[in-house]
Amino acid sequence: MNAKAAEFKSKAIKLRSGGLSYNEIRKEVHVAKSTLSLWLKDIRLKPEYRKRLYTKQIEILSRGSQSQKERREREIKRILDSASNEISLPVSSETYKLFGAALYWAEGNKTRDFAITNSDPYLILFMVRWFEKIFYIKPKNLRASLNIYSQQNENQIKKFWSQLTNIPLKNFGKSYIKPLNKNYKKNNLYYGTIKIRAIKGTDLRYRSFGWVNAVLKNIEPKIQLTQNKWRSLKENKRPVNLL
């Protein structure tokens, strides 16, 4: 054993005799844990030191899941921050237009009206502003309606959405009140669900779908070819509800 290793071993023995754990010793003596095990296997700890290390180990085990959760939350935040930095703001008009069209394609009415329903304040406010910027429809010309539970305060929720979107309260139609539900809900819809609708917006709906179709143009042949091959799936009769 060279002089440096001998110095490390002597220091490790001293720290272990003082009741430190292997991980605590490695912060002072930079060697592998297997090396510490070899050096310190014959060191007998005092009862109070053994009690301390046992208690510390129990605390680590009990905090294990929480520590993993915290690490994952930090990792997710790092990913989100990194991804956000990939976007240059403000986005171009073309990007803004297509972003709103994609959101409408996913969440908006497909067969009637020009309306979108959601519970996410971010999505709703974005779409209100998208209606205004792309189609020149001001919030005062939009219509809205709520879908809430009977135990929620309808007037307060209307005021929340009105303040957020600048849609006048007088433009809110009759709310749909769901029956009282005693079952546990994982996701609490504190603000209910709101539907925003543009008056006489059917042509605008088709226009936004046209933008989406343009983006999807290059995959259309593949879609049509596959659908034609599996046309028999559409020939299955709908099940009859006998109840």
Give pLDDT tens digits for 38-73. 898 888 888 888 888 878 777 776 666 667 778 888
- Residues lower than pLDDT 70 in the chain: 61-66, 181-188, 238-243
On the 0-12 / 13-18 / 19+ scale of CB atoms within 10 A, 154 is middle
**pTM more than 0.75:** no
Map tokens 């029956």 to a residue. 179
- 25: its two tokens: 């010793």
Q: Give how far Cα 46 sits from Cα of 42, 49, 65, 240, Å.
A: 13, 5, 31, 77
pLDDT of residue 231: 87
pLDDT of residue 19: 87
pLDDT of residue 103: 97
